[in-house]
Amino acid sequence: MTLHSHPATLPIDPVKLERLAEVAIRVGLRLERGQDLVITAPIAALPLVREITRHAYLAGAGLVTTFYSDEETTLARYRHAPDESFDRASGWLYEGMAKAYAGGAARLAISGDNPMMLAAEDPARVARANKANSIAYKPALEKISNFDINWNIVSFPNPAWARQVFPDDPEPVAVEKLANAIFAASRVDVADPVAAWEAHNAGLARRSAWLNGERFAALHFTGPGTDLTVGLADGHEWHGGASTAKNGITCNPNIPTEEVFTTPHALRVEGHVSSTKPLSHQGTLIDEISVRFEGGRIVEAKASKGEQVLNKVLDTDEGARRLGEVALVPHSSPISKSGILFFNTLFDENASCHIALGQCYSKCFLDGASLTPEQIAAQGGNASLIHIDWMIGSDKVDIDGIAADGSRTPVMRKGEWA
């Protein structure tokens, strides 16, 4: 650990950091008495890991186990490991995690890695390492993407991340600014964050209920560089805010969250769409994406920056060229209003309407918990090793809901709920 990331010297409000830990356990996970917890975190997030671990045990956690990652050690692999290393992953670790989740453990991830960590590395190697990791991670990730267990992700303002977001400020100032932006977006800068989250969840539940009542067959997005019809999966269900995992626990997987989202039909997406914010994908910035869909499949993909990486991502597997999520977020969301580009999907996706390439969420189907993967595919749910969100909303984008009989209902006008 370098001196500047020593906990005692971090310019981070300790009261708000503790509130974030409390929100992660009491709102994000709703950890149950006796439940075990598996945490993954960058080593720089140690101060938050300590607070979360303390609050986990205060909430009655059985056993808390944390796995740390570190930028320097990740880069050491790219600099010095033999070439065949990039087709491998620590499968034994992910098998162990899958076992823990199957045994009832909850899962908490702390995000905050340097978004440009791998920017200077060979994109082919990055793609190979990601693919090997995705394959090895699958048994554990399925427990999360199928919502078998309560899980949560929160963020810590890593100095390397803060420098990226606020490049003109000295590091301590950048860290303080990013910390305050994370606290505001995570709604822990108020006196009673748990009550604030209850009110926020109620608002998202109202939006989801309206969309579920309308039962649109498709959404039509129009805006600069965008004329896109996203067919929705048969029996799709909208979700937003807190929802109930298959283990019966109602939790808030993403903190922050501003979206209501559902599953598009993998075969029924037509037209073209342009991104409205850059996508930071595992160390590479992909900017000004524009893609064209035919029969649900991306047949043409361009980007002003990172096009090579984008096309590698699309070649991951057959499902990587099709959509697994469509999400609605008003342009006036607090994260959008902050005007900050976080270079982190957890935040940036909550600033804007977005779509995701790849794997769908089975919970976004009516009675999704009882559907087999084959049934989900038959209803139009996409399958892939990847799930990558990118932003297509702005104050210039309109959205109509199209009913099965072809009638149209305004859903959003100029980025706001109609």
Binding site for Zn ion (CB under 5 A): 259, 261, 325, 327, 349, 356, 389
Shortest Cβ distance from residue 166 to Zn ion (Å)? Answer: 25
Q: Are 300 and 282 in contact (CB under 8 A)?
A: no
Long-range contacts of 196-200 (CB under 8 A, 24+ apart): 197/23, 197/27, 197/252, 200/241
Nearer to Zn ion, 94 or 390 (CB): 390
Shortest Cβ distance from residue 324 to Zn ion (Å)? Answer: 8
Nearer to Zn ion, 10 or 144 (CB): 144
CA 183 distance to own-chain centroid: 17
Rounded Cα gap, residues 218 and 10, in angstroms: 48
Residue in this structure with the two tokens 């082919």, named with its chain if needed: 124
Closest C-alpha among 380, 388, 361 to residue 230: 380
Shortest Cβ distance from residue 9 to Zn ion (Å)? Answer: 35
Query: Which tokens go with 363?
Result: 């919970």
Nearer to Zn ion, 189 or 349 (CB): 349
- In angstroms, the Cα distances linking 358 to 265, 268, 387, 418 are 12, 14, 5, 29
Shortest Cβ distance from residue 2 to Zn ion (Å)? Answer: 33
Nearer to Zn ion, 259 or 348 (CB): 259
Nearer to Zn ion, 27 or 279 (CB): 279
Nearer to Zn ion, 49 or 266 (CB): 266
Shortest Cβ distance from residue 361 to Zn ion (Å)? Answer: 8
Shortest Cβ distance from residue 104 to Zn ion (Å)? Answer: 25
The residues near 185 (Cβ < 8 Å, ≥ 6 apart) are 256, 334, 335, 338, 347, 350
Shortest Cβ distance from residue 44 to Zn ion (Å)? Answer: 25
Rounded Cα gap, residues 379 and 324, in angstroms: 12
- Name the burial class of residue 18, with classes exposed (0-12), middle (13-18) and buried (19+) by CB atoms within 10 angstroms of its CB: middle
The residues near 400 (Cβ < 8 Å, ≥ 6 apart) are 219, 220, 408, 409, 410, 411
Query: Which tokens go with 57?
Result: 């045990």
Rounded Cα gap, residues 146 and 387, in angstroms: 13
- In angstroms, the Cα distances linking 398 to 138, 219, 229, 331 are 36, 10, 12, 11
Rounded Cα gap, residues 329 and 354, in angstroms: 8
Shortest Cβ distance from residue 26 to Zn ion (Å)? Answer: 23
Nearer to Zn ion, 174 or 386 (CB): 386
Nearer to Zn ion, 327 or 335 (CB): 327
Long-range contacts of 210-214 (CB under 8 A, 24+ apart): 211/238, 211/260, 211/262, 211/328, 211/401, 211/411, 212/237, 212/238, 214/401, 214/403, 214/409
Residue 404 CB-half CA count within 13 A: 5
Shortest Cβ distance from residue 388 to Zn ion (Å)? Answer: 8
Nearer to Zn ion, 35 or 350 (CB): 350
Shortest Cβ distance from residue 115 to Zn ion (Å)? Answer: 17
The residues near 33 (Cβ < 8 Å, ≥ 6 apart) are 59, 60
Nearer to Zn ion, 193 or 256 (CB): 256
